[in-house]
Amino acid sequence: MSGQAGSGDEQDPQASPPEAGPDDRRHIPVLVDRVDQLLAPAIEAATADGATDVVLVDATLGMGGHTLALLQAHPRLRVVGIDRDPQALSIAEQRITAAGLADRVELVHAVYDRIGEVIAATVASGRVQAVLFDLGVSSVQLDEADRGFAYAQDAPLDMRMDPTSGITAAEVINTYPGAEITRILREYGEERFAQRIARAVVTERAKRPFTTSARLVELVRANIPAAARRTGGNPAKRTFQALRIEVNDELGALQRAIPSALQHLSVAGRIVVMSYQSLEDRIVKRAIAPLTLSRTPLDLPTELPGHDPEFRWVVRGSQAPTDEEIQANPRAASARLRAAERIREAAT
């Protein structure tokens, strides 16, 4: 999972036992069988047509769990794996090499909104047969306490998916105006008590800057009424989600990435996106849905050339994991999957 219904329901890293650490090379990718079931028709159709380069872009490679499963299931498949996290890329490379599959994979250190640029640089035709996004925070990031994603352990307030660049969560908390912190908590975390928390942050940082997570967790807890703390898990999870989204520009990157990915899908190519909170899922739906509709006026009896849908939904709505999948991998609980297929070339 490189990634994570309502944004407050995003995967809770403290809600279930963590997966084995990356040194064990064990990792359960979310909905891996379902992902293969959805992408296989596009991969197999291209293979049957004699395509010389059948390519999947794993836009959120993480530890490489989905990529490994798909490479093993489809012997002619080549994968371009993208991840912004150098640590995740290193672990994925080791796992792929150990499986003897390195010659079929090209790894790229980048944010997934550069997917069009990456495809142009790695795929001669500029078109691919499959794209996979598994959004949210990765197992590497969750299980490494010093990355600052998990609020159950005191750690530096970092939260950068790429720890080599960008601002940290501490910089956001210590330097953003109170009104901007309120907006971030309200929009990205759907936090009802955003203004109260932001005011407390501004007061406390004037005494001493925030550097680690424990002090922020305690501040959030103290500024959420007791009645509201009785349900929904750790009250800090919405604040931490909001800060992580801001630090990594997750929603902005997604808004840029999905249209670019769709543009580079070949006819009969498929895209699968797994999101873990409503803000992400809404962006995915809004990017794809208009392309599944006819643009021919309703009062015309026949479809106008170039006005018929470019895509079709492969699954209806957003698909949740089964009880069995959640039992096997608790971090899949909040996953929502959407899948679509290109059915004609874009109009020029």
Residue set of the binding site for S-adenosyl-L-methionine: 64-66, 83, 112, 134, 141
Strand-pair category, 336-342 with 54-58: unpaired
DSSP SS3 for 328: helix
* CA distance linking residue 176 with residue 169, whole number of Å: 10
Token pair, residue 8, equals 């407050």
CB 331 within 8 A of CB 10: no
Q: Using the CB atoms, write b or e for 44-72: b if 16+ within 10 Å.
A: bbbeeeebeebbbbbbbbbbbbbbbebbe
CA 91 to chain centre: 18
> What are the strands, taking DSSP E only, across 75-179?
77-83, 105-109, 128-134
Encode burial over 88-124: b for 16+ CB neighbours within 10 A, e otherwise: bbbbbbebbeeeebeeebbbbebbbbbbbebbeebbe
Contact (CB, 8 A) for 30 and 134: yes
Q: Which residues are part of a known binding site?
A: 64-66, 83, 112, 134, 141
* Cα Dmax for the chain: 70
Query: Cβ distance 115 to 60 under 8 Å?
Result: no
